[in-house]
Amino acid sequence: MRFARFVLFVNCLVPGALLSWDAYHHRAGANPVNYALRTTGFLTLTFVALTLLVTPARKLTRLSWLYHFRRPLGLFAFSYAVTHFTVFFAFDRAMSLRSTISEMVKRPYLIVGSAGLLAMVPLAATSTNAMIKRLGPKRWQALHRLVYFTAIAGVVHFYMLVKSDHRLPVAFGVVMAALLGYRLVSLIQGRTRRRERAQLHPSRT
Amino acid sequence: MEDRSEPPSSEITPENTYLNRRAFLKAGVLAASVLATGTLYRRLNTPSSAPVNAKEINVVAPIGPPESGFHVDEPRTSFQDITHYNNFYEFSTNKDAVADAAADFMTSSWKVEVGGLVNKPKVFDLDDILKIAQAEERVYRMRCVEGWSMVIPWAGYSLSKLLKRVDPLGSAKYVAMQTLLDPRRMPGQNTSVLQWPYVEGLRMDEAMHPLAILASGIYGHALPPQDGAPLRLVVPWKYGFKGIKSIVKIMLVETQPATTWNIAAPSEYGFYANVNPNVDHPRWSQATEQRIGESGRRRTLMFNGYERQVGSLYTGMDLRKNF
């Protein structure tokens, strides 16, 4: 398991490493800032989707060890999101706090994107075993449902900034909808099952 | 007696060999997965690096005094960047990928129809249209509506020279232009990201302004496909999307013609599309721009710095309404 997690970790680093390599060697196109923004945004959405994929994949395949991949994938999603924002602040806005804030307040797609990023902060902060213990698994799980908000905000942010070619944001939307839809369906099924059981054996409840 | 449950000692792998083999296997798995991830990333996300083979063309130095605006005195954007960062949805919606996608675009036996409200309509062969006037070098700022800009040494001549050749009627108030429609040569036209063919237009007085040119080259070379080969419009005081590429048709008309981006999003892209730092795009600011090749952002200039030359075309107009 330790080896599998190591392989996963190294692979998650690969896109970031290649992006840095390209930027350093001036192979990031004519507009490297925009290239880096696009790439890190794409990576964030990809890693959010992969994180959300772990639970359905584990249940459908009954491979319980897949669970070990969820935390590293989530933390990589957060790291790429932070990089995305940092590139925007440092290069697109030339580290001007004023222009960053005024641009963020005025532009709906930036508000939505920032909200999605902010929602990830408490999740990253409570990702350690110690924090799970301190919060208790129930409260921890409830808090971490915030990732659903991040997924939706990320897709909406992407959709809103595209000029006319909506194919990629829509594709991400379909993937996220499937991943969230799976959870909704299993939630409803779980409730009906519990209710049916309660009706059959009233004494047990 | 021989114990059959144990293999003969000759078949037992020594412990260190066994561990080596495991380590070797692990390294192999790691390397293979990294290679696969890296290849996938490269496939999805590589800026195009197609070399540009554009033949040299005859260009004369600019005619006209400095205040004509024909020659901007700012560092020019590199040929590499001008030819590898393009908005040309007929080939790809990814600016970094257009150069590769357009590399094999054929422009042989190109014709341009010029007609409508004119006395002498004509279908020109490309060579004939290029012979109407000598191509001059015009170094213009190019401001994209997305918030980036370049400085480009175009080769071309004023659109007015072509229009005078066909002798417009008094009733002609606008010029409507059209890009080639051929989904086999322009694969982006197989998608519905925009309505095809791409159409653009100018008011007659805008079209007759000496700054508005028909361009056939950059940096003394014929226009590469990604920049609008073989013939395109350049209107330096307007956002880049007004500069329609790969033109096949120019019609003089009485009423304001439909324009592609206005059809796609009427609240975001107007007919005029004059560069204006005070009128924001509904989704982003137009106050500053990213000059390709520079770090940080520049202030965007009114009419892209050509206010002196073209400002009078718009006196009395509400530029917020006529964006």
Q: What is the mean pLDDT of each run of 10 residues along chain A (205 residues)?
A: 92 96 91 95 97 95 92 97 95 86 88 96 95 93 95 97 93 97 92 84 60
H helix runs in B225-311, sequence order: 260-264, 307-310
Query: CB–CB of B288/B300 below 8 Å?
Result: yes
**Rounded average pLDDT over B272-294:** 94
Residue-by-residue DSSP string for A49-62? HHHHHHHHHHHHH-
Helix (H) or strand (E) holding B150: strand B148-158
Q: Half-sphere exposure of residue A13, counting CA atoms within 13 Å on the CB side? A: 8
Q: CA-nearest residue of chain A to B192?
A: A165
Q: Give the CA angle between residues B49, B54, B57 to the nearest 5°.
A: 150
Q: Which residue of A has its CA nearest to B260?
A: A164
pTM here?
Answer: 0.89
Are residues A14 and B34, on separate chains, in Cβ contact within 8 Å? yes
At A205 the pLDDT is: 47
What is residue A202's predicted lDDT score, i.e. its pLDDT? Answer: 66
Q: Is B107 exposed, middle or buried (0-12, 13-18, 19+ CB in 10 A)?
A: middle
| Distance from C-alpha of B92 to C-alpha of B50, rounded to nearest angstrom | 14
DSSP-assigned letters across all residues of B39-51:
HHHHHHS------
> Do residues B88 and B198 lie in contact, with contact meaning Cβ atoms separated by under 8 Å?
no
Strand partners, B238: B274
* pLDDT surpassing 90 at residue B22: no
Taking the C-alpha atoms of residue A171 and residue B294, their distance in angstroms, rounded to an integer, is 34
> Mean per-residue pLDDT for B151-170?
97
- For residue A164, the chain B residues in CB contact (below 8 A) are 89, 93, 193-194, 261, 264-265
What's the pLDDT at A203?
61
Window 206-265 of B, Cβ < 8 Å to A: 261, 264-265
Q: Do B146 and A28 touch (CB under 8 A)?
A: no
**B71 forms bridges with which residues in the sheet?**
B139
Percent of chain B scoring above 90 in pLDDT: 84
Under the banding of pLDDT at 50, 70 and 90, the label for residue B103 is very high
With beta carbons under 8 A apart, name residues in chain B contacting A106: 280, 285
Q: Which residues of chain B does A6 touch, with a Cβ-Cβ cutoff of 8 Å? A: 30
Q: Largest Cα–Cα distance in chain A?
A: 71
Whether B38 contacts chain A with CB within 8 A = yes
B27: distance to nearest CA of chain A, Å?
10
**Structure tokens given for A161:** 């900034």
Quote the DSSP letter at residue B241: G
| pLDDT number for residue B35 | 96
Q: Which value, to the nearest 10 degrees, does the dihedral of the CA atoms of residues B42, B44, B46, B48 take?
A: 130
- Mode of pairing for the β-strands spanning B232-234 and B122-125: unpaired
Residue type, B275: V
Tokens encoding A57: 């994949």
Cβ distance B164 to B174 under 8 Å?
Answer: no
Tell me if A35 and B80 make a contact (CB, 8 A cut-off).
no
Q: Is B269 helix (H, G, I), strand (E, B) or coil?
A: coil
* Pick from B243, B319, B306: nearest CA to B280: B319
Distance from the first to the final alpha carbon of chain B: 100
Residue pair B281/B300 in contact (Cβ under 8 Å)? The answer is: no
Q: At what angle do helices A32-61 and A167-200 cross, to 10 degrees?
A: 20
Chain B residues with CB-CB distance to A163 below 8 A: 146, 265
User: Which residues on chain A place their C-beta less than 8 Å from a C-beta of chain B?
Assistant: 3, 6-7, 10-11, 14-15, 18, 27-31, 33-35, 39, 42, 91-92, 94, 99, 103, 106-109, 160-161, 163-165, 167
For the residues B94-99, what does the mean pLDDT come to? Answer: 94
pLDDT of residue A170: 97
Q: How many residues does chain B have?
A: 323
| B23: contact with A, CB 8 A cutoff | no
CB atoms within 10 A of CB A150: 26
Instruction: Output the pLDDT for position A99.
Output: 83
Cα separation of A2 and A129, whole Å? 16
In chain B, % of residues over pLDDT 70: 97
Beta bridge partners of B254: none
Element (H, E) at B118: none
Whether the predicted pLDDT of B123 surpasses 50: yes
Residues of chain A with Cβ-Cβ distance to B148 below 8 Å are 31, 34
Average pLDDT for B262-278: 97
DSSP string for A62-97 = --GGGGGGHHHHHHHHHHHHHHHHHHIIIIISTT-H
Nearest to A33 among B261, B283, B290 (CB): B290
- To test the contact with chain B by mutation, choose from A7, A161, A165, A166 the residue with the greatest count of B C-beta atoms within 10 A, namely A165
Residues 6 or more apart in contact with residue B241 via CB below 8 angstroms: B87, B144, B145, B200, B260, B261, B269, B273
**Residue B221: CA atoms inside 13 Å, Cβ hemisphere, count?**
15
**Chain B stretch 278-307, residues whose beta carbon is closer than 8 A to a beta carbon of chain A:** 280, 283-285, 288, 290, 292-293, 295-297
Q: Residue B3's Cα: distance from chain center in Å? A: 80
Q: What is the 3-state secondary structure (H, E, C) of A185-200?
A: HHHHHHHHHHHHHHHH
* pLDDT, mean over chain B: 94
